[in-house]
Amino acid sequence: MICEVEQKAVEEIRPTNILPQTPFWARIKNEQGFVPKGFQIQISSDLLTPNESDEKIEDDLLILIRDLSLNSCFAYVPYGPKLEPEAQNQGKFLEELSEVIRPYLPANCVFIRYDLMWENQWANEDSYFDELGNWLGPPTATTQEFRVNFNTTNWNLRKSAGDVLPKNTFFLDLKKDEEDLLSNMRFNTRYNIRKAFQKGIEVRESGLEMLDDWYRIYSETAARNQMVLHDKEYFSSIFNHQDESRSGVKVRLLSATYNDELLASMFLVLSRKRGIYLYGASSSKRRNMMASYALQWEAIKRAKINNCVEYDMFGCAPNLNPKHPLHGVHIYKKGFGGNLFHRMGCWDYPFQKKEYENFRIAEQLG
């Protein structure tokens, strides 16, 4: 049902709300060792919604190629494809896309990994929630694979051992006015926002001149929360690769200060009509000033002023389980009143099965 796949220049990929499917993201990942490739795909609409007219639908696709060894590589699709079929056709769509796009990939490509942003198929089934309304997560990988491979020819899709981009997030509806956004927040969150400004917290927009200060409290935050630490050049590249005129991406470094003392900072990225809380950091000092609450509220307002219609908190725990490592992050982000969204996560389509199984074993062993 996929009618055509054409390779296109990465810089010609059209602006989208999906940040990891932009030329901006391709430039950043290119500096990290990935080789970006751009494609235009065209499919029949009945693959997305059966019984609809057989019109052709086009969309762009960014794929990142990464070496596994001197003799092998894999293809990674960050939050793509953007076109989302109905559940019963998702496996068939991924199978057909994989086979049609395979000739455009390196001959030594072992598998293609889709980091799917589609809503998780088990996120709307009552049996996967507890009595308090907490989502318990999807079933075992075997059960997931059985359903997703339904209607496929090769029965070849595998649930990845892990996920790369955030699989759970909160979305805020920025079409609401500020009063409605505030009223949807938890009482404690609204209180902390007001308290921060009353205590004298100021939020400012900064540029590369604040990068050293950002990196200082970011490193502190990473150590405190046992997070992966990116180097400073990575954040510099986030600034340097934005290009609103071509890719529709704007980057804002926001800082919350008290008497010029930096207490919290974040990267707000605006991709077409979506604001994204990409990275955040806070100092261990003056925690009672609630600077991160003022910072987040200002980011939400700035995204709204820039004509964004939604705001992505970009990562949280799947539920309120206090043992989850992102429990504190979940509580903080939940307080701003967004809707919790669960994605499908990473799925693999192997081209070379023996090599893929060897990679999978190594990946599971860490």
pLDDT tens digits along 257-269: 999 999 999 999 9
With cut-offs at 50, 70 and 90, classify the pLDDT of residue 224: confident
- Give the pLDDT of residue 287: 86
Higher pLDDT, 224 or 2: 224
With cut-offs at 50, 70 and 90, classify the pLDDT of residue 228: confident
Tell me the average pLDDT across 247-255: 91
Q: Which part of the chain has CATH 3.40.630.30?
A: 2-165+343-365, 176-308
Question: Could you please report the per-residue DSSP string of 89-156?
Answer: GHHHHHHHHHHHHGGGS-TTEEEEEEEEEEEPTTTT-GGGB-TTS-B-----HHHHHHHHTTT-SS--
Query: CB-based contacts of 313: which residues, under 8 Å, 6+ apart?
Result: 169, 170, 171, 172, 277, 333, 336, 338
Cα–Cα distance measured from residue 242 to residue 246, given in angstroms and rounded to the nearest whole number: 9
Higher pLDDT, 226 or 57: 57
- Give the pLDDT of residue 45: 83
Q: What are phi and psi of 210, to 5 degrees?
A: -100, 5
Question: Could you please report the per-residue DSSP string of 25-71?
Answer: HHHHHHHTT-EEEEEEEEEEGGGTSTTS---EEEEEEEEEEEEEETT
Cα–Cα distance measured from residue 114 to residue 160, given in angstroms and rounded to the nearest whole number: 9
Residue 13 C-beta-side C-alpha neighbours within 13 Å: 31
pLDDT tens digits along 86-98: 999 999 999 999 9
Q: Which CATH number fits domain 176-308: 3.40.80.10, 3.40.630.30, 3.90.1150.10, 3.40.50.1820?
A: 3.40.630.30
- Give the pLDDT of residue 208: 85
On the question of pLDDT at 301 being above 60, the answer is yes
Residue 247 C-beta-side C-alpha neighbours within 13 Å: 24
Higher pLDDT, 337 or 47: 337
Q: Which residue pairs, CB below 8 angstroms and at least 24 apart, start in 197-203?
A: 197/294, 199/258, 199/289, 199/290, 200/258, 200/259, 201/256, 201/257, 201/258, 201/263, 201/289, 201/290, 201/291, 201/294, 202/256, 202/257, 202/258, 203/254, 203/255, 203/256, 203/257, 203/294, 203/295, 203/298
Tell me the average pLDDT across 214-226: 89
SS3 181: helix
Q: What are phi and psi of 144, to 5 degrees?
A: -60, -45
Tell me the average pLDDT across 337-342: 96
pLDDT tens digits along 159-209: 998 899 999 999 999 999 999 999 999 999 999 999 999 999 999 998 888
Number of Cβ within 10 Å of residue 137's Cβ equals 15
- Give the pLDDT of residue 283: 93
Q: What Cα–Cα distance (Å) separates residue 47 from each residue in 51, 88, 118, 120, 294? A: 9, 10, 15, 18, 45
Q: What Cα–Cα distance (Å) separates residue 149 from each residue in 137, 140, 351? A: 19, 14, 16
With cut-offs at 50, 70 and 90, classify the pLDDT of residue 243: confident
- Give the pLDDT of residue 206: 87
Cα–Cα distance measured from residue 296 to residue 130, given in angstroms and rounded to the nearest whole number: 30
Least confident of 24-28, 109-113, 208-212, 336-340: 208-212
On the question of pLDDT at 232 being above 70, the answer is yes
Residue 322 C-beta-side C-alpha neighbours within 13 Å: 0
Tell me the average pLDDT across 268-274: 96
With cut-offs at 50, 70 and 90, classify the pLDDT of residue 247: confident
Q: Is 204 exposed, middle or buried (0-12, 13-18, 19+ CB in 10 A)?
A: middle
Reported CATH class of domain 2-165+343-365: alpha beta
- Give the pLDDT of residue 140: 96
Q: At CA 331, angle to CA 279 and CA 218, rounded to 5? A: 25
Tell me the average pLDDT across 245-256: 88
Contact 343, 158 (CB under 8 A): no
Beta partners for residue 46, in sequence order: none
Q: Is 284 exposed, middle or buried (0-12, 13-18, 19+ CB in 10 A)?
A: exposed
Q: What average pLDDT does the chain have?
A: 93
Contact 185, 335 (CB under 8 A): yes
